[in-house]
A = this chain, B = another copy of it.
Amino acid sequence: MKNYKIQPSILPGFMELLPKEQQIFNDIVKKITTVYEENGCLPMDTPVIEKSEVLLAKTAGETEKQVYSFKRGSNDLTLRFDLTVPAARFVAQYFNELTFPFKRYQVGKVYRGERNQRGRYREFYQCDVDIIGSNKLSINNDALVISMVSKGFKSIGLKDYKFQISNRKILSSILKEIGVIEIAETMTLIDKYEKIGPEVFTKSLNELVGNEKSNFVNEVMNIKGSNDEIITKLKELELKGKELEVGIEELKKVRDMLSILGVEDDEYIINLQIIRGLDYYTGTVFETFLTGNESYGSICSGGRYDNLAQNYTDNILPGVGISIGLTRLFFVLKEMGFIDNYEIKRSVDYLIIPIGNTLKYCGELCRKLQDNGKKVEIYLEDDKLKKKLNYANKLGIPKVILIGEDEVASGEIKIKDMVSGNESVLNYNQII
């Protein structure tokens, strides 16, 4: 055997949790996915590794630089960088075996070789819901996916979030209407608004489209008021393009449906600055920020796409998706102190501690308790009592049952409450 030791460590940009935090992480995932299931979403699981030609069918240069690709034999392989592209491939591949509208959720790790910085990970969990229609999909689903995340957040007791919602059709048609030629560049610039700040933004926009158009765009982007007021002001704009009308109408329908589905007014704001890059989104787009921690970026984003799987099939598959960046969310929740105060159900009710030659009796007691729905662990090591009690203490096991030979003989069972320190004595039949 080698004598030297290899330093046990993981790669930078990878998250790993100690058991207590892992329990909380898993509890969050479980609660959110339970909401998805109870709203009719079906589970999906796709490979972490796929053919590069499949995963990279649509990506532009920026994504390709970040992906983990490698060759194995003659195959070009890529680790998935999101769960949306695999979902598109999946729906195209199994089209005839799925029921539409197809509502699916998926939780899985994805990989991006991003620059390592706080809150950004190279391996991170996404938790996605997508609703995919065959040929058509009601705009109401755009509100439904947001409402599910709202319910999910509420189920974990999270309050300090705000959805920021827009519809890409609005700004892009306004740009068209006012005669901007450089629509793509302008949208990209608007997408960077938050990052570069209003001054740099305005200067760049002036240069790109001229001061007059720039002023108008800035004005529209900064319409303030309640969600209803923003929609009203958009309707009052002296512009009459069909696409603009559609965009505003869609936004209004999403807003109405959010109310119907019980998403409160203070959970979201309409923000026309939300663009979501230039990828597949075509209508509704949204991001989500944790109040006071906006600088870590969006922890939940998504939007509407007209045709999800066009690289793989001639079937027209419009959809809307929402993705929680679970790893980043967890990181920010830790920063906020939310995790420290997160309460989880204890997984074990009792620790049975055998003292002397009582293992057989302890085993039987354990089975009896478990058969009665209790969660029970036996301490199997031959240690001092103090160490045994310490184990229960450290792991937060609330009650300890001490079984010595006297207890076996008498049928009496001593239960020590680890919180109060009180001891109570029950007989064998009482406890089960």
Contact = CB atoms under 8 A, between A and B. Distances in A.
A101 B383 CA distance: 11
A320 to B, nearest CB: 11
Given A16-B47, A72-B113, A312-B5, A38 B348 contact: yes
B40 A380 contact: no
Contacts of A325: none
Interface stretch (A17-25, A162-170, A178-186, A199-207): A17-25
A339 interface: no
Contacts of A341: none
Interface stretch (A131-139, A190-198, A413-421): A131-139
Contacts of A22: 42-45
Q: How large is the interface on A (under 10, 10 to 19, 20 to 34, 35 or more residues)?
A: 35 or more
Interface in A8-35: 8-11, 14, 16-19, 22-23, 25-26
Given A6-B57, A54-B6, A101 B16 contact: no
A99 interface: yes
Interface in A293-325: 309-314
For the complex of A and B, list the 10 residue pairs with the smallest distance between their C-beta atoms, beginning with the closest. Answer: A260-B363, A40-B377, A70-B70, A8-B93, A19-B42, A38-B375, A8-B312, A8-B92, A37-B347, A140-B380
B359 A260 contact: yes
A50 B92 contact: no
A50 B10 contact: yes
Interface string A34-72: 000111101111111111011001000000000010111
Nearest to A347: B37
A77 B11 contact: yes
A392 to B, nearest CB: 10
Contacts of A93: 8-10
Contacts of A77: 11
Nearest to A17: B45
